[in-house]
């Protein structure tokens, strides 16, 4: 996606950053809440009070830490240099992704979905039912 703006009378076209895409995707999830428990430099996205994404807001390109199935986490780290074990998180269950376009956009957004789904799966049945009702 691109956005158009003006700067000193000229039209400027800017590609949306992967960080912006991840933030938008996380925010759009049913029941997602954006929080800043670690300060203004990290957006934390939670569902049912549980974290499913952490997105750094400091200098570009930024990073996103996403929950991941342990087997898939290892596979992704081997496939992409931009994916490493979770920074300050459980290395088994979290990956940190440098948002510099080395991971294709569609795969990155699939990983956001995967992280959210893993966390939702672990929520109590009543909480999952509330989230299902919001999706309809």
**For 72-115, how does the pLDDT look when each residue is reduced to its tens digit (9 = 90+)?**
999 999 999 999 998 888 788 999 999 999 999 999 999 999 99
DSSP annotation of 62 reads: -
pLDDT band for position 11 (cuts 50, 70, 90): very low
85-109 in b/e form (b: 16+ CB < 10 A) is bbeebeeebbbbbbbeeebeeeebb
Residue 7 lies in a domain: no
Residue 52 has pLDDT above 50, yes or no: yes
pLDDT, averaged across the chain: 88
Residue 4 lies in a domain: no
pLDDT of 135 reads 67
The count of structural domains within the chain is 1
pTM, entire model = 0.84
Residue 92 lies in a domain: yes
pLDDT of 9 reads 52
Q: pLDDT for 14-34, tens place per residue?
A: 457 899 999 999 999 999 999
* Mean pLDDT for the stretch of residues 113-132: 93
Residue 1 lies in a domain: no
The CATH number of whichever domain residue 76 belongs to comes to: 3.90.1150.30
* Mean pLDDT for the stretch of residues 68-73: 95
Residue 28 lies in a domain: yes
Residue 130 has pLDDT above 80, yes or no: yes
The boundaries of the domain holding residue 59 are 17-135
Residue 3 lies in a domain: no
Residue 10 lies in a domain: no
pLDDT of 88 reads 81
Question: For residue 47, what are its two tokens?
Answer: 């569902």
Residue 11 lies in a domain: no
pLDDT band for position 13 (cuts 50, 70, 90): very low
């Amino acid at each position: 996606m691109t956005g158009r703006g003006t700067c000193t009378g000229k039209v400027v076209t800017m590609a949306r950053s992967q960080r912006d895409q991840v933030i938008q995707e996380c925010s759009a999830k049913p029941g997602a809440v954006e929080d800043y428990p670690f300060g203004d430099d990290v957006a934390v996205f939670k569902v049912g009070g549980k974290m499913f994404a952490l997105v750094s807001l400091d200098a570009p390109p930024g990073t996103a830490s996403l929950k991941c199935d342990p087997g898939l986490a290892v596979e992704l780290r081997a496939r992409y240099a931009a994916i490493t074990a979770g920074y300050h998180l459980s290395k088994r269950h979290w990956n940190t992704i440098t948002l510099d376009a080395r991971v294709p956009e569609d795969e990155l957004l699939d990983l956001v979905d995967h992280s959210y789904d893993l966390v939702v799966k672990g929520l109590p049945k009543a909480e999952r039912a509330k989230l299902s009702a919001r999706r309809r």
